[in-house]
Amino acid sequence: MKLSELSVRRPVLISMIYLLLLLISLLFLKDLDIALYPSVEMPVLSVMVETGDAGPEEVEQQVTKIIENTVGSLESLESITSQSSDGRSMVMLEFAYGTDLDEASSSLESLLSRVTRQLPSWAETPSVMRFDMSSSSTFMRLMLSGSLDEQTLKQLAEDTISPLLLRVEGVSQVEVRGAGDTQIQVVIDPIRLEAYDLTLSEVKNALALRNVQGKVGTITQNLIDYSITLDERFTDLTTIRETVVTTIDGVPIRIDDIGTVAESLETGFNEQYLDGSPVVTLSLSNASDSNAATVANSVQLQLAVIQSQLPDGIKLVIQQDSTTMISSTLSEVYKSAIQGVVLAALVIFLFLRNIKATLIISLSMPISIFFTLMMMSLMGITINSMSMSGLILGIGMIVDASIIILENTYKYREAKHSSAASAILGSQNMSTAILASTLTTICVFLPLFIYKNQLQMIGIMFQDLILTVCIALFASLLVALTLVPALSGSILRLDTRIQKPLKWKVLRYIDDFYVRVEAKLEQAYAHVLSYFLRHRFLLIVLLVLLLIFSLQFFDGIGMNLTPQMNADDTVTLSLTLPSGTTKEASREELFRIQELLMEELPSEAYSQIMVQVGTSNTGSIEIGLPDITQQHYTANEVKQLITPLLATNPSASWTFGGGRGPMSSSPININVSGSDTTTLTQTVNEIATIISSFVPEATNVATDLSNGSPKVSVELNNQLMDELGISVNEVVSTLSSALAGSTATTITTMNVDQSYAVVVSMDSAKYASISDLGNLLVSSKGGSVHLDSFATFSTSTAPASITRENKVRVNHVTANLGEGYTADVVQQKIQAALDQHLLVADGVKVSQGGDMQQLTEYGSTLVIIVLLALVLVFVVMAAQFESLVDPFIIFATIPLLLIGVIFIHIITDQAFTLFSVVGIVALIGVVVNNGIVLVDSINQLVRQKMPVKEACLTAARTRLRPILMTTFTTVLGLVPLAFFPGEGAEMMQPIALTFIGGLVTASFLTLFLSPSLYSLFNKRREKRFFDPNSLANQLAVFDKEGK
């Protein structure tokens, strides 16, 4: 007994099984996490080494190169990128996707343990870190405000709020920003210091020796041991001022005699201003194994508890929540899914004009969807833009199998069979065909799953879509073979107009009109098909010419790696001023631009402006936008309004942030490599200038150059130093303390909740020029001497950082695409401009990277995926038809579907992307489905010894309605996503467009080309109808005799 027949005989059992599955799936829904994109573990490990005061060139030569040479032997290592900067070496190791990073990390640590001895003494032990995309950025920022000053607010945030937030499950880090730590600043007058023949080292030592506390010994008295302790810690500023540094002729020289003591704020912190006012913020990051949206909800619930523990008048509010965009984006996707379901149900009703039939199909959709969501929860797949898009793709395909079964059952009812018999016969006749068609669709996704690592990050992201579609198709197959027969056989007994004629005259008139239209459509189709069956080669030639014609337009489509995302809830501007620019100048430039933004931007275009002032020549402005569903101006439109404002200061370099898309790399990326830093820098700047001047289609042109900062080189006379008894460490300590200040000691007695660093420095006002450095005093064995007595000074420029890729110095020029332009067009224009205006110096190599380079790298993998998909589809169809010829009949429609794909991209002015290619691969499995059912129907008639042409015409007329129904349900189900994707859902638009264009073309080809090719290739079967040596006749005789 077949499964479908069992379902008809046991409808209550089947219904209860599905009811139980539905209830279970509802229980799993609450465990589904949401995310904007699938979680992708980047196969990247980084090695960081802190190098003290060493400069970039020293770090490169003595640290970075050693590490690069050591780690090169790691298995599956694909590239090495390093950056040597002041005080740090960072080496990024990128492995092949699919590499076991735990094993790679263990091997890396083993190699580094052996190389540590080769590093200089000033380099610390290398540390290994794993790059995690999901936890690398802040998901929420809180703002603390109130009547207290910023320092008190910051202390409250660090001591009270931060520990409470870290208790929330999933919160891994809380970073407090917005105010500097309070310190005790001891500013020494160099003239007074010299007058007393003192050095800064002596001042620091005096302060450190005076601020002491501890146990100095024990004494026994009356058989009892007493601890002797001493507590001479500083308790206020007065005790610091009274600290004795030295004694001259019996007179103590105190700190107050040579300098000033006062409380001050550290200057190296990042200042933050919201709409012009300084604020204290708490930036929250989530753990790598957590879901940002879930953690954000938990934090919001905890905020009320935290607020209750804060002093009166202090407010803790959410300043930014990046997960709100996730909800808004997914709401657009949900809307597309619901619209798709409604449209699919509407198509079924219009074709069958039967409420019960529509209800049966409408029930099959949510049941399949809920089963898919349950499996997603069990497999740990989040609800994200990729998985939901897979579900939307599946909505149309979900009902295909059910429509075929139901429509066939409907025909049996029209032939006056009972409802139970119709359900059994209708499902049995089509079960093999829909099984094969479902398998072909699943098979085409298998190569994408196998080669996901070769497609790198995009391939991993498509994993959620692939799994979702496959689960949905499997669920729909079960529903079609079990629930649909059970419902149509008895529970929702399917009746036609023969069993239950319409009673209302108006409805009967409308129904008769539809019947006449349907009959005329079928007659017209039969007439045209009959013509093409007589003129098969004419049809083939016309289609080939149409394909060639459409391919001529392919170059005009344009290509990008991924769709351009327009949705964002923030616009970020990064500022870089010339190296050496002070923090005050950076703050002034940032506030100048902020004032322009507030004057020029419409009030409805933004919600807030956050300014962050960096440590020296850098800073950023973050413009908060309304929710993506309420925006009057998109992020791109805001950028267009801002761009002219940023050109008002030629020395300021402004770049826009990468946005919220999964691929944050620039579509245009020019690599410039060489060994000479000066030539490399000159070439990079020339390329950036050429692109900005001659290629207006490229926007946001930027380089990764860190402009060299002015430096003063101190050259020491080592021989004279030896004679004076001066060490290099003494010189370094003197210079560091005088210019940057150094901590002499720490005070913990002035405030029970806070410690204060006592920082000693020279009065900066007394060092207005480089020559003043020579007046610094350094201790020697014969007394204090001036620095310029054994040292000379010279000025030059030092690189701020040195970037290397695969052991070669490399810099990049990047750019974004202008509105309406594609990567291939812009790259060609850039290449033409460089060929005309750039003279490449010897030793410098310039190459193009970016989107087109990645597409080229993926090309061979995509070809393999397509070929493997074709092979798998062929295998399934050959097994289904027990023929090596029939699959080729259906295969003929596959290359011709490019006609619809190309023209729909042209009509909608959409670029061709990698997502479009994935859509074509998926189409290979989908477009053959109707062909499989049609060819299977023709084969059934031919096996009954009906002439081939007659069989083609009869089967095609019979399958016209289900082919149109399945096509329209899939196409209309994708229309919202394809043409009205909503903000944030643009990523999946190319796949939906590809499906619509390909399916419409494929339906035409199935209805006309497939019968024509069948009659062409299978005409010989008529000659073997009564051939006793044919396999069919031999098996028929065997079966008859066996019975």
514 and 554 co-located in one domain: yes
For residues 959-982, give the mean pLDDT: 80
933 and 785 co-located in one domain: no
Lowest mean pLDDT among 113-122, 543-552, 727-736, 935-944: 727-736
> Which segments within 689-782 are labelled E, that is strand?
698-703, 709-716, 742-747, 756-762, 777-780
Q: What is the reported pLDDT for 751?
A: 61
Q: Which range marks the domain in which residue 57 is found?
A: 44-130
Asked if 876 and 890 count as a contact pair (C-beta separation under 8 A), the reply is no
Quote the percentage of the chain above a pLDDT of 90. 5
Confidence band (pLDDT; 50, 70, 90) for 132? low
The label of the residue with tokens 């000066």 reads 678
For residues 884-898, give the mean pLDDT: 86
Q: What distance in Å separates the CA atoms of residue 969 and residue 962, rounded to the nearest whole number?
A: 10
The CATH number of the domain holding residue 220 is 3.30.2090.10
Q: What is the reported pLDDT for 20?
A: 92
* Residue of 265 and 313 predicted with greater confidence: 313
The CATH number of the domain holding residue 78 is 3.30.70.1430
Q: What distance in Å separates the CA atoms of residue 951 and residue 939, rounded to the nearest whole number?
A: 8
Query: Does the residue 682 lie in any domain?
Result: no
Q: Which of 637, 653, 669 is the last residue of a domain?
A: 653
DSSP 8-state class, residue 161: I
Query: Does the residue 809 lie in any domain?
Result: no
420 and 483 co-located in one domain: yes
166 and 291 co-located in one domain: yes
Strands 844-848 and 668-674: antiparallel
Asked if 64 and 82 count as a contact pair (C-beta separation under 8 A), the reply is yes
Q: What is the reported pLDDT for 832?
A: 92
Asked if 415 and 461 count as a contact pair (C-beta separation under 8 A), the reply is no
Question: In the 3-class helix/strand/coil scheme, how is 351-419 assigned residue by residue?
Answer: HHCCHHHHHHHHHHHHHHHHHHHHHHHHCCCCECHHHHHHHHHHHHHHHHHHHHHHHHHHHHHHCCCCH
Query: Does the residue 354 lie in any domain?
Result: yes
Asked whether residue 842 carries a pLDDT value surpassing 60, the answer given is yes
Q: What is the reported pLDDT for 91?
A: 92
Asked if 1001 and 896 count as a contact pair (C-beta separation under 8 A), the reply is yes
Quote the tokens at residue 468.
Answer: 């979702």
Longest Cα pair distance anywhere in the chain, in angstroms?
Answer: 134
Q: What is the reported pLDDT for 93?
A: 92
**Does an H or E element contain 249, and which?**
none
* Mean pLDDT, the chain, integer: 83
867 and 885 co-located in one domain: yes
332 and 317 co-located in one domain: no
Query: What pairs with residue 699 in β-bridges?
Result: 816
402 and 279 co-located in one domain: no
Nearest alpha carbon to residue 479 among 394, 593, 558: 394
- What helix, strand, coil percent values describe the chain, rounded to 5? 55, 20, 25
511 and 442 co-located in one domain: yes
**Does an H or E element contain 771, and which?**
none
226 and 341 co-located in one domain: no
Q: What is the reported pLDDT for 968?
A: 84
The CATH number of the domain holding residue 1019 is 1.20.1640.10
Q: What is the reported pLDDT for 664?
A: 57
Q: What is the reported pLDDT for 852?
A: 85
Query: Does the residue 692 lie in any domain?
Result: no
Lowest mean pLDDT among 433-447, 493-507, 832-846: 493-507
Which of 136-140, 262-266, 842-846, 942-946 is predicted most confidently? 842-846
Asked whether residue 598 carries a pLDDT value surpassing 50, the answer given is yes
For residues 295-300, give the mean pLDDT: 88
Asked whether residue 498 carries a pLDDT value surpassing 80, the answer given is no
Q: Which of 91, 106, 130 is the last residue of a domain?
A: 130
Q: What is the reported pLDDT for 663?
A: 56
Looking at the structure of the chain, the number of domains it has is 5
Nearest alpha carbon to residue 1000 among 962, 970, 961: 970
Confidence band (pLDDT; 50, 70, 90) for 16? very high
The CATH number of the domain holding residue 302 is 3.30.70.1320
Asked whether residue 878 carries a pLDDT value surpassing 60, the answer given is yes
907 and 978 co-located in one domain: yes
645 and 633 co-located in one domain: yes
Q: What is the reported pLDDT for 73?
A: 86
Please classify residue 888 by burial: count the beta carbons closer than 10 Å to its beta carbon, then call 0-12 exposed, 13-18 middle and 19+ buried: middle
Asked if 183 and 760 count as a contact pair (C-beta separation under 8 A), the reply is no
Confidence band (pLDDT; 50, 70, 90) for 136? very low
* Residue of 740 and 232 predicted with greater confidence: 232
Q: What distance in Å separates the CA atoms of residue 128 and residue 91, rounded to the nearest whole number?
A: 10
Asked whether residue 1043 carries a pLDDT value surpassing 70, the answer given is no
- The CB density around residue 881, as the number of other CB atoms within 10 Å, is 19
Query: Does the residue 667 lie in any domain?
Result: no
The tens digit of pLDDT for each residue in 544-556 reads 898 898 888 887 7
Confidence band (pLDDT; 50, 70, 90) for 189? confident
Asked if 942 and 1014 count as a contact pair (C-beta separation under 8 A), the reply is no
Query: Does the residue 668 lie in any domain?
Result: no
Asked whether residue 134 carries a pLDDT value surpassing 60, the answer given is no
Query: Does the residue 663 lie in any domain?
Result: no
What one-character-per-residue DSSP string does 470-495 give?
HHHHHHHHHIIIIIHHHIIIIIT---
Starting at the edge strand found earlier in the chain, the sheet holding 618-624 runs 277-278, 271-274, 608-613, 618-624, 570-576, 653-656
Global pTM value: 0.74
Query: What pairs with residue 612 in β-bridges?
Result: 272, 620
**Does an H or E element contain 545, and which?**
helix 536-551
Asked whether residue 815 carries a pLDDT value surpassing 70, the answer given is yes
The alpha carbon dihedral of 704, 707, 712, 715 has a sign of positive
Residue 934's region, left for phi above 0, alpha for psi from -120 to 50, else beta, is alpha
395 and 494 co-located in one domain: yes
Query: Does the residue 847 lie in any domain?
Result: no
Q: Which of 653, 672, 701 is the last residue of a domain?
A: 653
Nearest alpha carbon to residue 978 among 343, 35, 356, 357: 343
Quote the tokens at residue 638.
Answer: 């805001």
Asked if 196 and 246 count as a contact pair (C-beta separation under 8 A), the reply is yes
Confidence band (pLDDT; 50, 70, 90) for 135? very low
Quote the tokens at residue 234.
Answer: 């500083």
